[in-house]
Amino acid sequence: MNKREFLKDAILFFPAAATLQALAPAAEGKAEPAKTPADYDATKHWYGMGIDVDKCIGCNRCVEACKAENDVPDEPFFFRTWIERYQIHENGETRVECISTRAALPEQAPPEDPTVVRTFFVPKLCNQCAHPPCVQVCPVGATFQTQDGVVLVDEKRCIGCRYCIQACPYGARYLNPRTKTADKCTFCYHRVTEGLLPACVEVCPTEARIFGDLKGKADRLVRFHRVNQISVLKPDLNTEPKVLYAQLDGEVR
- Judged by CB under 8 A, which stretch of 2-10, 11-19, 170-178, 216-224 contacts another protein? 11-19
How far, in Å, CA of 168 to CA of 31, rounded? 41
Decide: is 10 part of the binding site for another protein (CB under 8 A): no
How far, in Å, CA of 89 to CA of 119, rounded? 9
How far, in Å, CA of 230 to CA of 209, rounded? 14
The correct pick among 206, 235, 240, 253 for binding another protein (CB under 8 A) is: 206
Give the residue with the Cβ less far from another protein, 169 or 231: 231
Decide: is 89 part of the binding site for another protein (CB under 8 A): no
Q: What are phi and psi of 230, to 5 degrees?
A: -100, 135
Q: How many residues bind another protein (CB under 8 A)?
A: 63
Decide: is 219 part of the binding site for another protein (CB under 8 A): no
Give the residue with the Cβ less far from another protein, 115 or 238: 115
- Please give the residues from 96 up to 155 whose contact with another protein meets the rule CB under 8 A: 104-110, 112, 114, 116, 119-121, 141-142, 144, 146, 152-155
Decide: is 87 part of the binding site for another protein (CB under 8 A): yes
CB count in 10 Å sphere of residue 169: 16
Q: Binding string, 52-81, against another protein, x = CB under 8 A?
A: --xxxxxxxx---x--xxx-----------
CB of 177 to another protein, least distance (A): 19
Q: Which residues bind another protein (CB under 8 A)?
A: 15, 18-19, 22-23, 34-37, 42, 54-61, 65, 68-70, 85-87, 104-110, 112, 114, 116, 119-121, 141-142, 144, 146, 152-157, 186, 189-191, 193-194, 196-197, 199, 202-207
